[in-house]
């Protein structure tokens, strides 16, 4: 059954139909149907200094039906477009794995499967995002939910009012689809957002009522934040004008997580304009904190070769390469020869990170940009 479409769904469906119309028109003219897919490669990604985030270039790869090596991927692209159109028309959503099963079947008259496994369908979904200029969530697709928030904000989630200050020890699970059609901000008195890397750190801040004492929204993304969390952070920052501070581990992975939140992902550069937060600040943990906080040797985790290689790569990112403070930070990490987790501050006191470290960094505006 078809459902009444909102303006965003109508626009997304229009773009999908235009793609189908172009293929149909080529076939009617007895031409080889083709699709020009924007290249999602490192060579087609650049850092826009004025916008301060990563974006895709203009290079494309042509996908043709009557090219033996491309025929299957062409067919898969059209299947994903068709499946997304069906979801939008019916006003329903499904997981990216759900779409895989929805489209998987044996091609009539052959023993060939449309998709052998989900590793084939996931990249096609990303192709469809850049082809249609739509986020995956706007195609009515979502991934596994991972990420939580709590704080002084009231939301309307699919018609239900959610007071995030009354969500107890578990918090409000940030949905995979955090678009305005699903999540509406009703009331917010919070002054900023503190994003921490992991659930364990988030629980310490929640139990100590940090968000209540400092009037903020507290979030985590279970490590590398999923798209729903990144999109929520982006909307909170841009629509409610809330500063975003990131408390992450002192290691190349923590630096990378910050980079993705701030500048966007290299692999998914086409999303940056609606997810990157160039004004986000890195609050810690810092390489200097081992001495500054007088931590014990027991918290040290030796850097391995992969850590060192990754640190050098991050130091050479265009958005970090010319920032003296970031170069000093990464240099000291390598000179230290060890990394640290935010949880290491617990060695000082169970609530040291919530009652002393973080309030001091915020008060002194001691962060990396």
Q: Rounded mean pLDDT of the chain?
A: 93
Structure tokens at 280: 């986000």
**pTM for this one?**
0.87
b/e sequence 143-161, b meaning 16+ C-beta within 10 Å? bebbbbbbbbbbbeeeeee
Query: Which residues does the annotation mark as catalytic?
Result: 101
List CB contacts of 297: < 8 A, sequence separation 6 or more: none
pLDDT at 72 over 80: yes
Q: What is the DSSP letter of 355?
A: I
pLDDT of residue 162: 96
Separation CA 186–CA 166 (nearest Å)? 15
pLDDT at 281 over 90: yes
Q: Label residue 316 left, alpha or beta by phi (over 0 means left) and psi (-120 to 50 means alpha).
A: alpha
Instruction: Point out the least confidently predicted range of 215-219, 265-269, 320-324.
Output: 265-269
Residue 177: pLDDT band (50, 70, 90) is: confident
Residue 5: pLDDT band (50, 70, 90) is: confident
pLDDT of residue 1: 61
Number of residues written out for the chain: 369
Q: Which residue has the tokens 């494309």?
A: 60
Going through 134-227 in order, the beta strands assigned E by DSSP cover 141-142, 148-151, 153-157, 160-163, 172-173, 183-188, 192-196, 216-220
Residue 135: pLDDT band (50, 70, 90) is: confident
Separation CA 257–CA 238 (nearest Å)? 20
Radius of gyration of the chain (CA): 23
Mean pLDDT of 305-312: 96
Short-list 337, 343, 326, 261, CA closest to 52: 261
Share of the chain above pLDDT 70, in %: 99
Residue 7: pLDDT band (50, 70, 90) is: confident
Label the pairing between strands 148-151 and 60-64.
unpaired
Residue 144: pLDDT band (50, 70, 90) is: confident
pLDDT at 55 over 80: yes
pLDDT of residue 2: 64
pLDDT of residue 319: 87
In whole angstroms, how far apart are CA 5 and each of 8, 43, 271?
8, 38, 23
Mean pLDDT of 210-236: 94
Mean pLDDT of 261-281: 88
pLDDT of residue 133: 86
Residue 299: pLDDT band (50, 70, 90) is: very high
Separation CA 262–CA 279 (nearest Å)? 7
CB atoms within 10 A of CB 279: 12
Task: State the burial class of residue 306 (Cβ atoms within 10 Å of its Cβ: 0-12, 13-18, 19+).
Answer: exposed
Instruction: Point out the least confidently predicted range of 172-176, 267-271, 362-366.
Output: 267-271
CB atoms within 10 A of CB 98: 15
- DSSP three-state, residue 54: strand
Mean pLDDT of 215-228: 93
pLDDT of residue 220: 96
pLDDT at 312 over 70: yes
CB 272 within 8 A of CB 263: yes
Q: Which long-range contacts (CB under 8 A, 24 or more apart) does 341-344 make?
A: 341/249, 341/250, 341/251, 341/285, 341/299, 341/301, 342/196, 342/197, 342/198, 342/201, 342/247, 342/248, 342/249, 342/250, 342/284, 342/285, 343/200, 343/201, 344/285, 344/295, 344/299
CB 81 within 8 A of CB 129: no
Domains by residue range for the chain, with CATH: 7-32+67-142 (1.10.10.10), 148-363 (3.40.1360.10)
Q: What is the DSSP letter of 166?
A: G
pLDDT at 237 over 80: yes
Instruction: Point out the least confidently predicted range of 88-97, 134-143, 343-352, 360-369.
Output: 134-143
The helix (H) or strand (E) run that includes residue 101 is helix 96-103
């Amino acid at each position: 059954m078809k459902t009444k479409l909102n303006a965003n769904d109508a626009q997304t469906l229009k773009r999908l139909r235009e793609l189908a119309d172009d293929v149909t028109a080529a076939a009617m003219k007895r031409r080889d149907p083709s699709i020009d897919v924007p290249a999602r490669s490192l060579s087609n990604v650049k850092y826009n200094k004025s916008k301060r985030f990563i974006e895709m270039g203009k290079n494309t790869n042509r996908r043709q039906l009557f090219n033996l090596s491309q025929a299957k991927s062409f067919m898969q692209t059209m299947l994903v477009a068709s499946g997304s159109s069906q979801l939008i028309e019916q006003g329903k959503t499904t997981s990216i794995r759900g779409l895989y099963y929805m489209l998987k079947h044996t091609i009539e008259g052959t023993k060939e499967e449309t998709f052998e496994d989900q590793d084939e369908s996931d990249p096609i979904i990303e192709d469809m995002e850049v082809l249609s200029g739509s986020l995956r969530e706007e195609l009515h697709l979502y991934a596994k939910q991972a990420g939580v928030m709590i704080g002084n904000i009231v939301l309307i989630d699919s018609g239900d009012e959610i007071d995030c200050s009354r969500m107890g020890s578990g918090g409000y699970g940030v949905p995979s689809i955090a678009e305005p059609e699903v999540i509406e901000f009703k009331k917010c008195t919070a002054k900023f957002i503190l994003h921490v890397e992991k659930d364990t750190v988030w629980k310490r801040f929640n139990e100590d009522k940090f968000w209540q004492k400092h009037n903020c929204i507290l979030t985590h993304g279970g490590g590398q934040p999923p798209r729903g969390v990144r999109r929520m952070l982006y909307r909170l920052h841009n629509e409610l004008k809330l500063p975003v501070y990131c408390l992450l581990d002192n290691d190349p992975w923590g630096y990378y997580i910050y980079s993705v939140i701030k500048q966007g992902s290299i692999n998914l550069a086409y999303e940056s304009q609606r997810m990157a937060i160039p004004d986000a600040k890195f609050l810690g943990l810092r390489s200097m904190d081992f001495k500054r906080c007088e931590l014990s040797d027991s918290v040290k985790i030796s850097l391995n070769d992969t850590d060192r290689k990754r640190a050098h790569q991050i130091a050479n990112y265009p958005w970090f390469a010319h920032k003296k403070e970031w170069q000093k930070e990464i240099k000291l990490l390598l000179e230290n020869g060890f990394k640290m987790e935010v949880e290491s501050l617990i060695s000082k006191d169970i609530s040291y990170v919530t009652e002393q470290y973080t309030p001091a960094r915020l008060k002194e505006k001691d962060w990396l940009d």
